[in-house]
Structure 1
Amino acid sequence: MHLQPAGFVTLCAFIEGYESALMDHGTHDHHDTLFLMHFSDFVRTVTGHEDDRVSLTTPEGILDIGQLHWQAAITRTEQDDGKAMALFFDLLDRFKASHGLR
């Protein structure tokens, strides 16, 4: 895979596009969707953001959207783009190892 420009933001955009395509077109076994959901849970826990919530301010008040996505948990942990990219791949390797995946 070639990302241009190389960086965490571009990687996230690629993965977000993949997630969006999965939701739009669906899969028969939902394996990839479940993988990304469990990975997000893992990242929130490992980075210490398991209780953090995402909120949106609206004219009616503050709307609680839900738990942080893996991307938000990583960027809250590491703001530097290069270090965030390294953290992503470290967490991905650790997640795969903890679930017996290659």
Structure 2
Amino acid sequence: MAIVNATDQTFQSEVASGTVLVDFWAPWCGPCRMIAPVLEELDKEIGDKVKIVKVNVDENPDTASQYGVMSIPTLILFKDGQPVDKIIGYQPKEALLSHLNKHL
């Protein structure tokens, strides 16, 4: 499954069903650029179990505000539309997998 870019308008439909990892990011954020290839690897490895969605906080401030995103990158794991886990800051792939496996 490919990584999806969501907007304030499309966000709810993107996280409505299944397990979805949302990356709140911005292009100027160094740690966000560091985590992007990690998310690409995760998508290749477990994309059939977890959908990955990216939300640019500069272009979609309403969604970021709604979920209390104060620093980026912030990753929020949703299950059937409800947030179940939050990870703030850069994490290596193994740490992200550990968080995800708790909810799969």
TM over 0.5: no
User: Which of 1 and 2 has greater Rg?
Assistant: 1
TM-score by length of 1: 0.30
Quick check: which one's helix share is greater?
A: 1
Of structures 1 and 2, the one with the larger relative CO (CA 8 A, separation 6+) is 2
